[in-house]
Structure 1
Amino acid sequence: MSWLLRYLLPVKGRMLILLVLLLAGTGLQLVNPQIVQRFIDTASARGPVAGLLGLAGLYLVIAVIGQIVTVAVSYFGNDVAWRATNRLRADLLKACLRLDMRFHNLKTPGEMIERIDGDVTNMSNFFAMFIVQIVGSFILLGGILGFMFTVNWPIATVMTVFTCLSVGVMIVIRDLGVASSQNERQASAALYGLIEERIAGIEDVQTSGSVPYVMNRFHAAMRNVFLRGRKAWMLRVVPWNATIVLFAIAVTAVLLMGVRLYVNGQVSLGTLYLFFQYTQMLNEPIEQLGNQMQEFQRAKSGMRRSRELLSMRSEIEDGTEHALPDGALGVEFEQVSFSYNKGFPVLTDISFTLRPGERLGIVGRTGSGKTSISRLLLRLYNIDSGVIRVGGTDIRKLRLEALYRRVGMVTQDVQLFDGTLRDNLTLFDSRVSDAYILETTGRLGLRPWIDSLPQGLDTHLSAGGASLSAGEAQLFALTRVFLTKPSLVILDEPSSRLDAATEAALQTAVDQLLEQCTGIVIAHRLSTLEKVDKIMVLGAGRILEFGARETLARDPSSRYAELLRTDREEELA
């Protein structure tokens, strides 16, 4: 409850209004049966027609007011629920975005969407009805039983016993379906993960003829959702079924006692109606409690999963230092070892030094560890051993914000967001002026493309990057990094998918980008390394060779010289 109150306290004002409305609605519900009682007794005694019309008119007015109050209660209940759970959604998304890459490698985006939205939507439904129906039900129960004790205490006692038994049964078995509901949500998350994963890889699915296989997986996942959902539903309805049995016994007992009192002349016909009506009204809050017990079990499974996500902590602990030296930043790896999975090293004993302003080219076969070096520099993962220094500071001591502010990275894949071209270039930083954006894009060769767009920087781009060619996407990524004025830039095979002409244009942009900063270029094509100062050749996660590019290129026995010869032979062939 303390965890839930954290999200309900900010909306306490609206909850107070809701409580007042609930009290008013409950009072109106209790008054109308008493008006009907007086109407019946007056009619039985052949009372004046004017009195009967007055009672009928009063009943109608109260009914209309009661309906208005019901609508207001529903509105404020849903308003409170969504305001509270939207804060929870924001916390879950923030927690998810702050978790390290090891976590995200194990969880699909579809599963995270289900956690952040699906689970919380169930909780929102529960909150909306919980406040309205649970609190309202107890207020109504108290009002009915309290009034009945002023009319006939034996019947009121029977109704009280029934109420206590019903509520007690629901409390005892309230968690019966929670575990099954949690399994149901996990199955649903797995289904969303499967759909997201297959749609993301739609090209491979279609070209490999794997649609039937995907559909088989989909049907298997759907069946799992159905089976777990059916089991969860059957367990959730147990409290409701138990109250139905108890209600049938209570109604029978109250009617028998009421009829006996009427036959003996101890109560009027109107009072007998009052007994029956209040007994029926007693069932409504009990039934609502039963229904909400089902929602509670769904919501509790969502609460557990939400608390589990919120309790997770990234293995990347933020540092405390903000300061880095001005200008280009040096890089130092000292006996760095790293593995994605324990027992399977990716980098072993990596040591090298890069002075401020120098450019390093990294080459090696696929799987040699080139990209892993860039990921470690940005602290996307923690190293197993050793030290990485940027600007002379151990990056583990740096605040991540300070590191990301000075280090930029361009990868092969460019992520576009749903927004304007300006927002995509500046990553929604309104402090970057249009003049600076146009100047930068002009220098990097992207200005002609921008000028060709109908609305220039205000042109809306769709997410995913389908609106850009491969060359435009790479120039786009370079511009995005250039605008941040980095002191260290990492280029991860930026030209691997480009033709020679586009690569030449890109290389011009890269040269401009690296003029004022330190650069690390992870290369697929050796032609992109003609202007670097040093070369590192990686193999099986180890440094096979490291030195000045020109020195290694002139040494026929070096691995880099061998790679150059092989590259020239392939071009001639």
Structure 2
Amino acid sequence: MSWLFQYLKPVRGRLILLLIMLLTSTGLQLVSPQIVQHFIDTAAAGGVIGSLIQLAGLYLVIAIANQLISVAVSYFGNDISWRATNQMRGDLLKHCLRLDMKFHNVRTPGEMIERVDGDVTSMSNFFAMFIVQVIGSFVLLTGILGYMFTLNVPIAIVMTVFTLMSILFMVFIRNLGVSSSKNERESSAALFGLIEERIAGIEDVQANGHVPYVMNRFHRLMRSVFLRGKKAWMLRVIPWNSTVIMFTLAVTAVLLLGVHYYLDGVISLGTLYLIYQYTQMLNDPIELLGDQVQEFQKAKSGMLRSRELLALRSEIKDGEEDQLPEGALGLKFEKVNFSYHEDKPVLQNISFAIQPGERLGIIGRTGSGKSSLSRLVLRLYNIDSGVIRIGGKDITQLTLPALYRRVGMVTQDVQLFDGTLRENLTLFDSSVSDEIIKETTGRLGLSHWIDEQPQGLDTHLAAGGTSLSAGEAQLFALTRVFLTNPSLVILDEPSSRLDAATETMLQVAVDRLMSHCTGVIIAHRLATLDQVDKIIVLGDGKILEFGEREELAANPTSHYAKLLSTGREEELA
């Protein structure tokens, strides 16, 4: 409950106002049947027409007021719901973004959407109305039963017994459908994960004729959602069905007693109506409580899943040091071992060092560990053993913001966000001036492309990157990194998607931009490494060769020299 109330605390003022309106509405509901009672008794006694008109007018005013309050209650209830649940969505998203890559590698974006939005949506009614409606229902029940004891004790006792039995039964089975509701949410998350995954890979799906296979999986997951949803629904509606049966029995007993007392002259016709009306009204809060028990079960399943997610902790722990030496930063690996899975090592006993301002080229076949090595520098994963030092400091001792401020990486995949060209280049950093943007893009050869856009830097770009060619996307990513003025830059196969002319232009630009920082270049093309100082050749997660580029090139027995002499760049693929 403490976890719940932390989200309700910021909206407590609106919650109190909502409670006041609901209590007012409850009072008006209790008064309306009493006005009708007086109207009937007055008419039956031959009362003056003026009194009847006054009672009718009062009833009409109360009915209108009650309707207006109901509209306000609905508005404020939804307002509270969205304010509270949006805060929870934000916390869940922020928490997911801070979790390490081991977590994200086994979860699809579609599943995360369902966890961040779908599970929280199931809690929206709980945040909006559960507490207030439960309180309002108990106030209405107390008011009805209390007034009934002043009219007729036997009838009041029957109504009280029915009310207590209904409430106790709902409390007893309140968790009956929670587990099934949780399973329903998990099936829904799996379905959304499949849809997202297959749409993201639509080219492969269509090109390889996998549409029937995808649809088969889709139908199987839909069946799972249906079956689990049906089971959860059937368990959740048990409270409502039970109260309907008990209410039928209670109404029958109350009406029989009421008619009996009326025929004996104990109560008036208006009182008989009042008893009937209060009996009908008694069902409303009981039914409302039954509905809220259903909502509680759905909300609790969402809460359990959300708390499970929030309970997960990243393996990447923040350090305490917030500063690195000024200028270019050196990089050193000391007996580093790393694996994604314990039984399959990716990097083994990796040791090397480059000085500030030097450039390191890394080559090796696919699967040799090149990209894994680069991601360890940015602490996207924790190493199994060893030490990585940047600027002479163990990266595990640095705060992540301090690391990210000084180290930049360009990957082969470029993400565009829904925003302007300026916002995409600066990643929404408004402190970067247009002059700096234009200077950097000019060096990288993107100026002509920006000038061709209808609104220049203010041109709106759609998410997904379809408005950029492969080469432009690579240059776009380079611009992003160099706008942050990094001290250490990692380029993961920067020319893999460029033609020869663009690659030459890129190489010149990179040479100029990297003149004041340390560089690590993971290469697919040997020509990309013409300007590096040192070379690492990786194979099966081990360093096969490390040394000065010129020395390795001059040594005919080195792996690097053999690649140069044969021109067999395909060996790197």
Structure 1 length-normalised TM: 0.98
- Looking at structure 1, the residues matched to 439 and 122 of structure 2 have their Cα atoms a distance apart, in angstroms, of 50
Aligned pair 1:259/2:259, yes or no?
yes
* C-alpha displacement of 1:125: 2.5
Q: Quote the residue 1:127 is aligned against.
A: 127
Q: Which residue of 1 aligns with 2:273?
A: 273
Q: Structure 1: any 5+ residue segments left out of the alignment?
A: none
SS of structure 1 residue aligned to 2:21: helix
- How far apart in 1 are the matches of 2:570 and 2:394? 42
**Counterparts of residues 486-525 of structure 1 (less than 5 Å):** 486-525=486-525
Over aligned residue pairs, what C-alpha RMSD do you find?
1.1
Task: Specify the alignment match of 1:407 in structure 2.
Answer: 407
Is 1:478–1:509's contact at 8 Å kept on the other side of the alignment? no
What whole-Å deviation, never above 9, does each CA across 1:353-406 have from its counterpart, x for those lacking one? 010000000000000000001110000000000000000000000000000000
Higher mean C-alpha deviation, range 349-358 or range 127-136: 127-136
Per the TM alignment, residue 135 of structure 1 is displaced from its structure 2 partner at its CA by 2.5
Q: Distance in 2 between matches of 1:507 and 1:289?
A: 70
C-alpha contact (below 8 Å) 1:77/1:131 kept by paired residues: no
Decide which moves more: 243-252 or 542-551: 243-252
Moved more, 92-101 or 465-474: 465-474
Within the alignment, does 1:322 sit opposite 2:347 as a pair?
no
What residue is the counterpart of 1:544 in the other structure? 544
Deviation at 1:126?
Answer: 2.8
Q: Which moved more, 1:307-316 or 1:509-518?
A: 509-518
Q: Partners in 2 of 1:409 and 1:140 — Cα distance?
A: 63
Instruction: Kindly provide the amino acid, as one letter, of the partner of residue 201 in structure 1.
Output: G
Deviation at 1:137, TM superposition (A): 1.3
Question: What count of residue pairs does the alignment treat as equivalent?
Answer: 571
The 5 Å alignment of 1:2-401 reads 2-401=2-401
Contact map agreement 1:412 1:495 (CA 8 A) in 2: no
Query: How big is the shift at 1:128?
Result: 2.1
Deviations 1:104-151 (A, max 9, x none): 001100000001001111101232231453222122111111211222
Which one-letter code corresponds to 2:186 in the other structure? Q
Contact 1:74-1:132 within 8 A present in 2 as well = no
TM-score by length of 2: 0.98
C-alpha change, 1:473 and 1:230, in structure 2 (3 Å) is same
Shift in Å, 1:515: 0.7
SS of match in other structure, 2:567: helix
In structure 2, what residue type is equivalent to 1:61?
V
Q: Distance in 2 between matches of 1:149 and 1:3?
A: 40
Q: Is the 8 A contact 2:526 2:569 kept in 1?
A: no
Q: CA deviation at 1:223?
A: 0.5
Q: In 1, are the aligned partners of 2:8 and 2:127 still within 8 Å (CA)?
A: no
1:481 is aligned to 2:481: yes
Distance 1:447 1:318, change over 3 A: same
- What is the CA–CA distance in structure 1 between the aligned matches of 2:41 and 2:361, rounded to whole Å? 98
Checking the alignment, whether the CA contact within 8 Å between 1:21 and 1:73 is kept in structure 2 is yes
Q: Is the CA contact 1:361–1:534 (under 8 Å) kept in the aligned structure 2?
A: yes
Q: Which moved more, 1:247-256 or 1:181-190?
A: 247-256
* DSSP-derived class of the 2:396 partner: coil
Distance 1:149 1:427 in 2: 69
**What is the CA–CA distance in structure 2 between the aligned matches of 1:547 and 1:263, rounded to whole Å?**
109
Give the AA of the match of 1:129. M
- Once the two structures are TM-superposed, the CA of residue 230 in structure 1 deviates from its matched residue by 0.4
Question: Could you tell me which residue of structure 1 aligns to residue 422 of structure 2?
Answer: 422
Do the aligned residues in 1 keep the contact of 2:524 with 2:569 (CA within 8 Å)? Answer: no
Q: SS of the counterpart of 1:300?
A: helix
Identity of aligned residues (%): 73
> Structure 1 219/417 Cα, relative in aligned 2: closer, same or farther at 3 Å?
same
- 1:529 pairs with 2:529: yes
Equivalent position SS for 1:89: helix
Question: Would you identify which runs of 4 or more consecutive aligned residues in structure 1 move more than 3 Å?
Answer: 568-571
Q: What CA distance in whole angstroms lies between the structure 1 residues aligned with 2:21 and 2:131?
A: 12
Residue identity matched to 2:26: T
For 1:566, the equivalent position in structure 2 comes to: 566
Q: Using the TM superposition, give the Cα deviation of residue 570 of structure 1 relative to its aligned residue in structure 2, in angstroms.
A: 7.7
For residues 569 and 326 of structure 2, what CA distance do their matches in structure 1 show? 44
Q: Structure 2 CA distance, aligned partners of 1:6 and 1:147?
A: 38
1:409 positional shift: 0.4
Q: Aligned letter for 1:354?
A: I
CA contact (8 A) 1:81 1:127 kept: yes
Q: Confirm or deny: 8 A CA contact 1:187 1:224 kept in the other structure.
A: yes
CA distance in 2, matches of 1:417, 1:396: 30
Judge conservation of contact 1:322–1:399 (CA < 8 Å) in 2: yes
- Mean Cα deviation higher: 356-365 or 236-245: 236-245
- Code of the aligned partner of 2:290: G
My pick for the range that moved more, 189-198 or 411-420, is: 411-420
CA contact (8 A) 1:318 1:396 kept: yes
Give 1:565 shift.
2.1
Question: What is the alpha-carbon distance in structure 2 between the residues aligned to residue 183 and residue 288 of structure 1?
Answer: 25
Residues in 2 aligned to 1:71 and 1:204: alpha-carbon distance in whole angstroms? 51
- Distance across 2 between alignment mates of 1:172 and 1:66: 33
List per-residue Cα deviations over 1:253-301 (Å, max 9, x = no partner).
1111111111111100100111110000000110111111111111100
Instruction: Give 1:568 deviation, angstroms.
Output: 6.2
Which residue is 1:452 aligned to? 452
Distance 2:452 2:15 in 1: 54
Shift of 1:245: 1.2
Cα distance in 1 for partners of 2:338, 2:356 equals 25
8 A Cα contact 1:169 1:239, kept in partner = yes
**AA at the equivalent of 1:84:** A
Question: In 1, are the aligned partners of 2:330 and 2:356 still within 8 Å (CA)?
Answer: yes
- For 1:19, the aligned partner's letter is L
Deviations 1:21-54 (A, max 9, x none): 0111001100110000011111111111111111
Aligned-partner Cα distance in 1 for 2:499–2:557: 31
SS of match in other structure, 2:336? strand
Q: Write the letter of the residue equivalent to 1:96.
A: C
SS in 2 for 1:463: coil
Rounded to whole Å, the distance in 1 between the matches of 2:481 and 2:428 is 13
CA contact (8 A) 2:563 2:569 kept: no
**Letter in structure 1 aligned against 2:462:** S
Instruction: Measure how far apart 1:153 and its partner are.
Output: 2.0
Deviation of 1:569 (Å):
8.8
Aligned residues of 1:178 and 1:298 also touching (Cα < 8 A): yes
Q: Give the aligned residue type for 1:399.
A: T
Contact 1:437 1:483 in 2 (8 A): yes
* Distance in structure 2 (CA, Å) of the matches to 1:323 and 1:265: 91
> What SS class does the counterpart of residue 248 from structure 1 fall into?
helix
How many Å apart are 1:248 and its aligned residue? 1.1
1:497 CA drift (Å):
1.9
Is the partner of 1:396 in helix, strand or coil?
A: helix
